[in-house]
Amino acid sequence: MDDETLILIEYIRNAPTREMVLKSFEGVDFIRPIQISRKTGIHPNNVSKKLKDLREHELVYVINPEYHVPKLYRLTEKGKNMLQFL
């Protein structure tokens, strides 16, 4: 495992809600923020903030960016790799 991967894993683990949001992608092809909220119990506003954070780290992406609501999110290859370590 390279240093960048190790740093990113620790960054994710450092915030339990960030880790919960990322783990909510397990077993699904795509997911909406409200589904993550229901699955995790995290407030929808906080889910949106965590998804933005995960997008900035290139772990997830928006499938339908042209639509305002509901946005559909999918893991990137980098995000799929991170799940293996959580």
Instruction: Walk along the chain (86 residues) and give the pLDDT tens digit of each residue.
Output: 789 899 999 999 999 999 999 999 999 999 999 999 999 999 999 999 999 999 999 999 999 988 877 899 999 999 999 999 98
Number of domains in the chain: 1
Residues of the domain holding 67: 3-83
CATH code assigned at 12: 1.10.10.10
Rounded distance between C-alpha atoms, residue 73 and residue 69, angstroms: 12
The pTM for the full model equals 0.91
Residue with tokens 């790799």: 81
